[in-house]
Amino acid sequence: MHTSVLANLPTPSCGLKTRLAALLMVSLCGSLVLYPLLHRWIAPFVGLSFGLATLLVSVGVVQRNLRIPSSVLTNIWIAFMIIYDIWFIIALIYGNTLRYIYQDSAGFLLYLGALPVIYLLVQQNNLQRLFFSFVERLSQLIGAASVILAVIIYGVMGEISSESITLINAYAFTMGLSWSIDHNHGLLGLYTNVAHFMLLGSALAFYRFYLFGRRRDVFLILLYLTAFLLDGRRALVIAAFMQIVIVALPRLKMLLFGQHMMLALVMLVGLIVFIISNKDWIQQRFNFYDVDASSAERYAQIPALLDKIVDKPVFGGGFGSIASYIRSFERPFSYEVDFLATFMKLGMVGGILYFGTYLFGVAQALRIRGPLGLYLISAGLPFFFYMGTNGNQAMSTDSAIFHIFLFMMIAFTLPNRGRLAVWNNGLRSASREPQKVLSA
């Protein structure tokens, strides 16, 4: 049986301070992830949780003689701080609307403020194991809520229609909730702005199934896949498929030729059956021609964004930049083709630095001993695709929260620098003395 990397994480004490830290971690992280749902109460709740967590972390830093633990997150934090400062100033120089500048760069405030506070809160109180468990539980909650809500609407209304969903949205809003639900060609689209968070939960479910082969984890994987489909966004469905491919490739190498052929045949038959039984839905949801409203919107944005990029190719126009085509009067800086929009705002220098920082953080998972690194990569790389094809995701607060959680999961499971140096030295010594290794 493989040994889980999570088993090597420290175990927290049962003291009052640790319990308070755990409560603050759950309340702060949970409210950040579910902020679209909380709507009316989010500001005071996050503010109070963040304030108390910052106070507790500050006390811990003072008690440790102002020493901050060395981590790969330090480099990530510095990179995001540089991006925020430079391109905020560039936006001011070009006279971008101040309100748009703040809205467009809000995700960076989470990198600069929430990332160090949450990391130190977990690290100082040995809550790493609890943090992983929290990510799993929250992912399960989002997936279960999505499926249960769809079942309830269908059971009460007898159908899933735009009219019934509009009524539910209006009723939820009177209660201070903003779980926006829309109708996507016969499927219920639970547009929570947090559905992508389940990529982390499904990665951990795949990992635990690899370790233990439990039916419970198969059920969780199916739950997540169902919730991805119910969400109704093509990019999220494709991202989920990419995750499956990433986690499956290493296992395929272990199969014999005959097993490969059998698996390929089963998958082909299953795919044919699925396509035949869902032909209309597939044609509607995966229509990338300009006759599809969503695709037509993207086709209209691309030339305008490219023209703006050519106008300021090196450093861009700063946060809040707007191309000649506007998709939203409320958020004119927001575009579905978000990779191009990001390069329009940050230029080639800032765009490469920003996306390079994200890919650098994801690549650190390759240093994790054991298979967990691959499963975390299976969440990170598909999300890279997702945030570039979904409106206002590349630099949004939604993505910042996902990045922070993924970066911390990777950092917590990396071997520390001292142990890593000893381990690498041992490997180098073994490679220099093959005779002794064989004789031993």
Q: How many CB atoms lie within 10 A of CB 176?
A: 12
Quick check: 406 pLDDT over 90? yes
Of the listed ranges 48-57, 180-189, 198-207, 362-371, the least confidently predicted one is 180-189
List the one residue out of 308, 304, 302, 312 whose CA is nearest residue 90.
312
CB 214 within 8 A of CB 162: no
Cα distances (Å, whole numbers) of residue 108 to 338, 348, 374: 16, 18, 27
Q: What is the reported pTM?
A: 0.81
- The b-or-e profile of 75-92 (16+ CB within 10 A means b, else e) is ebbebbeebbebbbebbe
Q: How far apart are CA 28 and CA 110, in angstroms?
A: 12
Q: How far apart are CA 323 and CA 333, in angstroms?
A: 8
Quick check: 31 pLDDT over 60? yes
Cα distances (Å, whole numbers) of residue 393 to 235, 270, 349, 366: 12, 33, 20, 25
Amino acid, res. 439:
S
Of the listed ranges 43-52, 68-77, 290-299, 308-317, the least confidently predicted one is 290-299
What average pLDDT does the chain have?
78
Q: How far apart are CA 377 and CA 363, in angstroms?
A: 7
Q: What is the pLDDT of residue 169?
A: 64
Q: What is the pLDDT of residue 1?
A: 37
Question: Average pLDDT of 253-263?
Answer: 53
Q: How far apart are CA 374 and CA 363, in angstroms?
A: 10
Quick check: 253 pLDDT over 70? no
Tokens coding 412: 């917590």
